[in-house]
Chain A
Amino acid sequence: MTNEQEFIITLNNVNKWYGQFHVLKDINLNVKVGERIVICGPSGSGKSTMIRCINHLEEHQEGDIVVDGVVLNNDLKNIGQIRKEVGMVFQHFNLFPHLTVLQNCTLAPIWVRKMPQKEAEAIAMKYLERVKIPEQANKFPGQLSGGQQQRVAIARSLCMNPRVMLFDEPTSALDPEMIKEVLDVMVELAQEGMTMLCVTHEMGFAKKVADRVIFMDAGQIVEENEPEEFFNNPQSDRTKLFLSQVLGH
């Protein structure tokens, strides 16, 4: 058994600097197929930067990142290969405002996967139904609420049929009443066996679906454990402090 077959994502001693600032320090992480991982930690701890390295939105300077058997380096072909297989959902949705919801969903399948338009539209409608907004298909993103936009963004990623989904604080920019509709979609996705890495502060979501919770601070992984152990019996005092702040009210 090689690593590539066992783990879909491998981070091996990854280090990253912004100028002189050391943002990621000796990160080691192995993700199995079908595993759901929640990453939490205070702001500036490097959690977003870490998952953005996985699809090369950020460049790392030291260490190896292997995604689905492809080594991530500066080779454009490898980057393209990995981005096809890794979907990403952003805090601010990043939908394309000049395209309709349906066009947002079919853009990448048509141009990157070279899929015929009819087929891409059929797939897009399937995923829009799964995120429960097929009736909005011909509207523009600007006409939708934040929660609806984020669900479109999830559908847009799923249309590429990715092997892994990355979520970068998907509910942080949403009104409280809309968080639930997005989390519901994510829970459903997790229950279907999608491999997920999710940066979030929704501890309820972590308890419900995560196989593993990772706590980061100051650019390093402080602690990782199964959710039950993580919440009830944190090993590090830093984790304890963080949990008391988040769960304290």
Chain B
Amino acid sequence: MEKFTPIESRPAPLVEVGIIGWMRRNLFSSIPNTLVTLFTAYMLWIVLVPFINWAFISSDWFGTSREDCSSGGACWVFVTVRWNLFMYGFYPEDSYWRPNLAFILLIVTIAWLSIPNLPFKKWVGIAAITVYPVVAYTLLYGGFGLEVIPTHRWGGLMLTLVLALIGIVAAIPIGILLALGRRSEMPVIKMVCVIFIEFWRGVPLITILFMASVMLPLFFAGGTDADKLMRALIGIIMFQSAYMAEVVRGGLQALSKGQFEGADALGLSYWQKMNLVVLPQALKIMIPGIVNTLISLFKDTSLIVIIGLLDVLGMVRQALSDPAWLGYPAEGYLFAAFMFWIFCFSMSRYSIYLEDRLNTGHRN
């Protein structure tokens, strides 16, 4: 009998590799393609060069008043002079160390949890959801011997981060519970969840914030006046958890029925099935959708300007109306946009990294 010997695998042919090959394939493969490439390069040239010149080369960075902006380019002095205002709002200057410390603690905790292979992850995680909120609240607001700084003095980037972070941390678990409730076989739970989701999803966030700040106090007798920031925060959490619930529901539906049956057949209880089998897989599928919602939540926080709280964008707008600094809207808005972009872009990159890391090669 003839013996079967498989042919050895060979490497793929090296046609055109490297940067030259890539450019020939993608930029100059035909005459129309070359024309488009040249035209695009020209457009970039006439837009980017003046912008870089304006923003970096002939711009002013340091000084104390608009007289220091003499070079004709961007006047970043407008931003640097008000840096503290943009970061902390009207928070008292001698207490800046408090939000700073809270922020550093947060960064350390998040870094600890997101870098693989660090020890004590479980304990850091538990501390992050139990101890950290108390510490951060005490640092920012006061108490335990620290001077109380009422929330109407908070502002700038600090306020944006507080709103976004609490919103995110609260909206994810509430959203998951709502989504599970909406798929529940118990009619009462299902109905409550559907009504909740459809109510909050059907109302614009601006309306919710407005109602939270103007109408809610009318319903309460005097004296039970909840903090304005707190009211806005509850509105944001309700609104975002309704959105989150629908994202989570999408992920649950994407999972094959066999996964539910496999867990059932092994005798796992409902919560064991959800926590050990269904949610770990569903959440992985949902990462892009969840991050999308979180990014939109982050940006929506600037709507609180409607109820008189000034986040980073609100502070910039207020600064623009300062008579001593009229005429620098481009710098102000670019700065605000850049602040938002940094945080949103980081979230986006982290989500892509997470998707790669959780990929076990096969989805059922």
A residues at B contact (CB < 8 Å): 55, 57, 80, 83-84, 86-88, 90, 92-98, 107-108, 111-112, 140-143, 156-157, 160
Cα A102 to Cα B189 in complex, Å, equals 36
21 contacts across the A-B interface (CB closer than 8 A): A57-B261, A83-B264, A83-B265, A84-B267, A90-B262, A90-B265, A92-B258, A94-B364, A95-B262, A97-B281, A97-B362, A107-B266, A107-B268, A108-B266, A108-B267, A112-B267, A112-B269, A112-B272, A142-B361, A143-B361, A157-B266
Shortest CB-to-CB span from A212 to chain B, Å, is 23
Contacts of B265 in A (CB 8 A): 55, 57, 83, 86-88, 90, 94, 157
Bound-state CA distance A97–B285 (Å) is 12
Q: B261 touching A94 by the CB < 8 A rule?
A: yes
Query: Which 3 residue pairs of A and B lie closest in terms of their CB atoms, listed nearest first?
Result: A142-B362, A94-B262, A83-B267
| Contact A96 to B262, CB < 8 A, known contacts A80-B269, A111-B276, A143-B361 | yes
Residue among B258, B265, B272 having the largest count of chain A Cβ atoms under 10 Å: B265
Alpha-carbon distance A139/B358, docked complex (angstroms): 14
B277 CB–A CB distance under 8 Å:
yes
Residue of B nearest to A100 (CB): B360
Q: What 7 additional pairs, Cβ within 8 angstroms, besides A94-B258, A97-B363? A: A57-B264, A94-B262, A95-B364, A96-B263, A97-B281, A98-B360, A140-B362
A80–chain B nearest beta-carbon distance, Å: 6
Query: What's the Cα separation between A55 and B268 when bound, in Å?
Result: 13
Contact of B266 among A92, A97, A98, A112 (CB under 8 A): A112
A87 to B266 alpha-carbon distance, docked (Å): 7
Question: Are the C-beta atoms of B268 and A97 separated by less than 8 Å?
Answer: no
Question: How far is it, in angstroms, between the C-alpha of A98 and the C-alpha of B258 when the chains are bound?
Answer: 14
B-side interface residues, number (CB < 8 Å): 24
Q: Interface residues, chain B, CB within 8 Å of chain A? A: 256, 258-259, 261-269, 272, 276-277, 280-281, 284, 358, 360-364
Q: How far is the CA of A112 from the CA of B263 in the complex (A)?
A: 11
Q: Is the contact region of chain B dominated by helix, strand, or loop, or is it mixed? A: helix
Expressed in whole angstroms, the Cα–Cα distance for A142 and B363 within the complex equals 8
CB neighbours of B266 from chain A (8 A): 83, 107-108, 112, 156-157, 160
Contacts A83-B266, A107-B276 hold; do A90 and B360 have CB atoms under 8 A apart?
no
Q: Nearest-CB distance from A79 to chain B (Å)?
A: 9
A55 and B363 CA atoms in complex are apart in Å by: 26
Inter-chain contact B364/A80, CB cutoff 8 Å: no
**A108–B276 CA distance with the chains assembled, in angstroms:** 10
Which of chain B's residues have a CB closer than 8 A to the CB of A86?
265
Query: In the complex, A98→B256 CA distance in Å?
Result: 13
Known interface pairs A80-B269, A84-B267, A111-B276; A90-B361 also in contact (CB < 8 Å): no
Given contacts A90-B261, A96-B277, A98-B280, whether A142 and B267 have CB atoms under 8 Å apart is no
Contacts of A160 in B (CB 8 A): 266-267
Name which residue of chain A comes closest to B277, CB basis: A96
- In whole angstroms, how far apart are the Cα atoms of A97 and B256 in the complex? 11
Chain A residues closer than 8 Å to B361, beta-carbon distance:
140, 142-143
Output the least CB separation between A150 and chain B (Å): 13
Which residues of chain A are near B277, meaning CB under 8 Å?
96, 107
Query: Does B268 lie within 8 Å of A111, measured CB to CB?
Result: yes
Q: B265: nearest residue on chain A (CB-CB)?
A: A88
